Structure 1
Amino acid sequence: MNYTYIVECADGSLYCGWTNNLEKRIADHNAGKGAKYTKTRLPVKLVYYEEFDTKEEAMSREWHIKQLRREKKMELIDMSKT
């Protein structure tokens, strides 16, 4: 399974990414390896995720979320409420 996810860092910033192992990615973030993904070593909490069958679908969804955020048409944090 592949996932698109959004995490909230301890400083309140949000990060969107994709992975094929969500539990490991979150554990890596919180084990101090988060700088590789979020450019911060602060702990994170998962606020949103979606499952996809293929890597390409997950990557496409991540791209769309980031585009919407750049265009300021959608706040990332609002997605955690859906």
Structure 2
Amino acid sequence: MEDFYYVYILQSEKDGNKYTGYTSNLPLRFEAHQKGKVNSTKHRRPLKLIYFEGCLSQDDALRREKYLKTHYGKMYLGNRLKSYFTGQENKE
């Protein structure tokens, strides 16, 4: 699993906003987010990892990250995670 690149989605438990990124080491990158070492998410902690995909190349991961940040990518994620988000609404 060392040769994979991961596209991931984090959700802020503070404000509910999502963050999309990519990395070759998902556990290490998530830890950096949790410890506040990533500028774009340090004020949005705590964070939950709600989705990730593995890619075989860095180029594929970058393209997928870019797509998931588009309107159509967000629609895809909404449908893909529909039961997750429905469960979130029922908990509140």
TM over 0.5: yes
- The residue that corresponds to 2:29 in the other structure is 25
Shift of 1:38: 2.9
Q: Unaligned 5+ residue runs, structure 2?
A: 84-92
**Against the structure 1 CA distance between its residues 78 and 33, is the aligned structure 2 distance closer, same or farther, given a 3 Å change threshold?**
farther
The TM-score, its normalising length taken from structure 2, stands at 0.71
Q: Unaligned 5+ residue runs, structure 1?
A: none
- The residue that corresponds to 1:51 in the other structure is 54
Residue identity (%) = 38
Q: How far apart, CA to CA, are the structure 2 residues paired with 1:27 and 1:18?
A: 14
Two-structure CA RMSD over aligned residues (Å)? 2.5
Q: How far apart, CA to CA, are the structure 2 residues paired with 1:47 and 1:27?
A: 14
Q: How far apart, CA to CA, are the structure 2 residues paired with 1:39 and 1:75?
A: 26
Give runs of ≥4 in structure 1 deviating > 3 Å: 75-82
- The residue that corresponds to 1:74 in the other structure is 75
- The residue that corresponds to 1:64 in the other structure is 67
- Per-residue CA deviations over 1:43-80 (Å, capped at 9, x if unaligned) read 2110000000100000100100111268xx61745433
Q: State whether residues 4 and 51 of structure 1, in contact with CA within 8 Å, keep that contact through their aligned partners in structure 2.
A: yes
Q: Please give the secondary structure, in 1, of the residue aligned with 2:31.
A: helix
Q: Please give the secondary structure, in 1, of the residue aligned with 2:64.
A: helix
Of structures 1 and 2, the one with the larger relative CO (CA 8 A, separation 6+) is: 1
Pick the structure with greater CA Rg: 2
Q: How far apart, CA to CA, are the structure 2 residues paired with 1:32 and 1:26?
A: 10
Pairs aligned (count): 79
Q: Please give the secondary structure, in 2, of the residue aligned with 1:12.
A: coil
